[in-house]
Chains A and B, each alone.
Chain A
């Protein structure tokens, strides 16, 4: 801040920002609070904000009755698996486009981006029927596969924009010293690419963890990740707000933490490098 900030201005903008921020965050806070209430208190009018009987029983019940960890594990496997496979496919591709670009590199990149624009609902029918035929409905492998393909364009794009920033002189120097391409990749590029790789990994974990079109349509119970599991609370029979809140809190907590770490990369990844 080059400009002198007057005290009055600081006070006003601080109050405004905190107020705004609190309002936006409030639904999450309210949910976390409800997860520590009894069902009766979660439902009570007037609501109690802090002075209620704090309890952990919802967390216990959620695990006992609906095997929360089974679904959490599915989320971990599906989000983690799809991200790792996408990275394995994307790293060589992005490396090749960033360091040995051809005339068609730009077209290829834009074409990859355009596959991401295809609305999933446009191919829901064939994917569903193929999965039904080959028995991949409600399977973790099926979801890993589809989320991997769905996020592959973003992964390649993010990696490409990071690789692009690695100074090429270093590569030239390594080549002069007689490094083979394999060695160049392992000893020179990889260490410099690690920050970019890490943020790509993080952002895609988040996207895959929260993906709620394919997971809702292609999984029911066995392979159901947390998105589908939480959706099962939408049934109108009986209202279990406190349990819904407990399950939700557990479902979003890890990703919230990861997300807060990756907020800078988020902008870059989601705008395909158009805003940095």
Chain B
């Protein structure tokens, strides 16, 4: 039984963390909201004035916003699809009796630990360079014209790099879930003459539904704000072809120094992320009841 003294102690132990996180959440957010109502350019200091929702109107009707929203959705959607569609068979494969499974698992998981700037630059130069990259050499080897990745299909190139980084995450979580699947259930199904395909559809897949949801939600949170990979490869271009919302806000803030509309954009990003977060928090919260 917790005495009053322990309760008091418990509360005082909790306070620093709660206080810091509260400040960390409230202060910048309040400032972002405040800035978003100002005409505020770092190039023109002293000219700040209240403009109401003007920045939002500007940001939301800017063609760059629609383009970057579309790019963001395509990027998130494609990476999710790639990592899950490849992650499931890969996890199933690693769940089999494989000789040297631990070593294979190390190889599969490695990309997740590579810092984003390294993965992006290694892919861009060593692999995807249109003349001296390995892909170009492979293409010529089989008689194809090498693809000029970052000019012809810039967004797809970024998607490939990001998917490579996140495939290990999806695979690892799905594998962990598979390993907790009751073997006997599968065995019983096999004894009853169920084919491998129907065992997969009726037993394995339902078991994976929850981990897949978790993968989708967590990846979405991170993928909505992909930044470094774009920063070091395309710089958002050519044109706006690889500008996502995070990069658009960055360029408005730190390249065009338009604090007002970058703040408005920041709030739009917060709203989008919160929609996803709402669902994730509910799923994780359900887990807490247990």
Contacts and interface: CB of A to CB of B under 8 A. Distances in A.
Interface of A: 1-3, 5, 9-10, 13-14, 16-18, 20-22, 24-25, 27-28, 30-31, 34, 42-47, 89-90, 92-93, 95-97, 99-100, 102, 106, 108-110, 112-130, 149, 152-153, 156, 181, 206, 209-210, 212-213, 216-217, 226-228, 230-231, 233-234, 239, 241, 244-245, 248, 251-252, 255-256, 258-260, 263, 266-267, 270-276
Interface residues of B, number: 110
Interface of B: 2, 6-7, 9-11, 13-14, 16-18, 20-21, 24-25, 27-29, 31-32, 35, 90, 93-94, 96-101, 103-119, 121-127, 131-132, 134, 136-137, 164, 167-169, 172-173, 176-177, 180, 183-184, 186-187, 190, 210-211, 214, 218, 221, 224-225, 227-228, 231-233, 245-246, 249-250, 253-254, 259, 262-263, 266-267, 269-270, 272-274, 276-277, 280-281, 283-285, 287-288
The 6 A-B residue pairs with the shortest CB-CB distance, nearest first, are A117-B277, A126-B31, A123-B28, A93-B17, A100-B10, A259-B113
Contacts of B231: 216, 231, 234
A245 B122 contact: yes
11 contacts: A3-B183, A45-B131, A100-B6, A113-B284, A118-B270, A121-B266, A122-B267, A124-B262, A126-B32, A130-B28, A274-B214
Contacts of B119: 27
Nearest to B271: A122
Contact of A231 (B11, B183, B232): B232
Contact of A274 (B17, B246, B253, B284): B284
B253 A128 contact: yes
A244 B121 contact: yes
Nearest to A113: B281
* Dominant SS among interface residues on chain B: helix
A217 B254 contact: yes
Contacts of B32: 122-123, 125-126
A93 B16 contact: yes
Contact of B108 (A20, A153, A255, A271): A20
Contacts of A272: 284
B225 A213 contact: yes
Contact of A10 (B97, B169, B277): B97
Given A119-B246, A126-B31, A17 B101 contact: yes
B221 A126 contact: no
Contacts of A9: 96-97
B266 A123 contact: yes
A233 to B, nearest CB: 6
Given A17-B101, A117-B221, A270-B218, A230 B115 contact: yes
B245 A152 contact: no
Contact of B125 (A13, A118, A239, A252): A239
Given A27-B123, A126-B27, A153 B221 contact: no
Contacts of B111: 24-25, 27-28
